[in-house]
Structure 1
Amino acid sequence: MNEAMEMLKLLAPFIVLEVALKIFCLVSLKKDKVKYLPKIGWVLVIVLINTFGSIAYLIFGRQKY
């Protein structure tokens, strides 16, 4: 039990960053125009593919004005 708490303490900052990145991408997705996939497709990529889905959206999904 003690080892599990120590592991959770180590992973907590990464979990918080992952959730914050997903929230940022989903809010950005609502406001921005997208390319390559419809918005629902990007929602699935962001939510289902950890970290790399969010990064993929930020690099490839947002349409530049």
Structure 2
Amino acid sequence: MEQTFSEVISSIPWGIVAPLLVIQSILLIVALVDWFRIESTNGPKWVWLIIILFFNIPGPILYFLIGRRNDG
């Protein structure tokens, strides 16, 4: 029982998926802007970039909770 692409797209619950995509995009953008502006992080800065980019929602959250250095 194969579904066509349009059948798969129409079966996606967009009322749930769309807000998650918006939240993910906002977290990603804010984390990347902060990552570029901050001078140092807890651990290697390049590792936090990989975490932010490849671990969709948890990556930016982990960056703000653990990776960001609060000197000052």
The TM tier, using the shorter chain, reads 0.7 to 0.9
Q: Which residue of 2 aligns with 1:35?
A: 41
Output the TM-score relative to the length of structure 1: 0.80
Task: Provide the rounded CA distance (Å) in 2 between the counterparts of 1:55 and 1:33.
Answer: 19
Task: Provide the rounded CA distance (Å) in 2 between the counterparts of 1:61 and 1:36.
Answer: 5
- Runs of 4 or more, structure 1, over 6 Å off, are none
Task: Provide the rounded CA distance (Å) in 2 between the counterparts of 1:35 and 1:13.
Answer: 30
Output the TM-score relative to the length of structure 2: 0.74
Aligned to 2:63, which of 54, 57, 61? 57
Rg: which structure is higher?
2
The Cα RMSD (Å) is 1.5
- The one-letter amino acid of 2:11's match is E
- The one-letter amino acid of 1:44's match is I
Aligned sequence identity (%): 27
Task: Provide the rounded CA distance (Å) in 2 between the counterparts of 1:52 and 1:33.
Answer: 22
Q: How many residues align?
A: 63
Residues 32-63 of structure 1, C-alpha deviation per residue, up to 9 Å, x if partnerless? 13333222111100111121111110011111
- Quick check: 1:3 aligned with 2:34? no
